[in-house]
Structure 1
Amino acid sequence: MTTLEIMTAVKNGTMTEAEAAQRMEAQTAEKVKEVVRKKVSLKVSAKGGIQIDGLRRFPVTLYRSEYEIIDGMRDDIRKFIEANKSRLVTKGEE
């Protein structure tokens, strides 16, 4: 079911807003998993950094210490995303 179909179902009263939100969230999670499964890869860059390919047009490269800082912030990042979910978009959304 597409986002448009879900929105139409809510408008017509055949689906509640909570059901629609749950379905859209599940679709988004599945799309993210699909992208990660198919395209994202890691390698060591020429300068010794950790390079992630497949997230964007160009690779994202950070040094080990930078990824360790981000990894240490994992819970804070998750909380931030949850608190700002209504203001954040995922790739492909407008």
Structure 2
Amino acid sequence: MKKEEILAKLQSGELSVEQASQLLTDTAPKRGQLYCKVSEKGAISVYGLQRMPVTLYVEQWTRLLDFADDLKSFMKENDSKLKRKEGAAAE
């Protein structure tokens, strides 16, 4: 259930404040979990990678995603030179 739905049910009296609070807590993104939002300017912001979101327009995300196989190959070829952030989850 989305935040807006939970709040609407709270407003209509279908949920108590405690129930709504629990549902909002359960649906909130967990630390390090990736999630997206549409920015005020209509771009896509990805949260959870770093402290600040990574924000690109649709065309930029499309180009980046089309480049994913090349990026993966580059990472594999240069693995010994690449550093990893401590505590980062391996994929």
Same fold (TM over 0.5): yes
1:92 aligns with 2:77: no
Please give the residue correspondences for 1:36-55 in structure 2 after superposition, counting only pairs within 5 Å.
Answer: 38-55=32-49
User: Which residue identity lines up with residue 44 of structure 1 in the other structure?
Assistant: V
User: Which residue identity lines up with residue 82 of structure 1 in the other structure?
Assistant: K
Q: TM-score, normalised by structure 2?
A: 0.57
Q: CA deviation at 1:37?
A: 8.8
1:76 aligns with 2:70: yes
Deviates more, 1:75-84 or 1:36-45: 36-45
Structure 1 segments, 4+ long, off by >2 Å, are: none
Same amino acid, percent of matched pairs:
39
Determine which structure has more spread, i.e. the larger CA radius of gyration: 2
Q: CA deviation at 1:71?
A: 0.9
Please give the residue correspondences for 1:18-57 in structure 2 after superposition, counting only pairs within 5 Å.
Answer: 38-57=32-51
User: What is the root-mean-square deviation in Å for CA atoms of aligned residues?
Assistant: 2.1
Q: Deviations over 1:45-92 (max 9, x none)?
A: 111101001101111100000010011111100100000101112221
Aligned residues, how many?
Answer: 58
Gaps of 5+ in 2: 1-29
Q: TM-score, normalised by structure 1?
A: 0.56
User: Which residue identity lines up with residue 77 of structure 1 in the other structure?
Assistant: L
Q: Distance in 2 between matches of 1:40 and 1:91?
A: 17
SS of 1:65 mapped into structure 2: helix
SS of 2:80 mapped into structure 1: coil
Gaps of 5+ in 1: 1-35
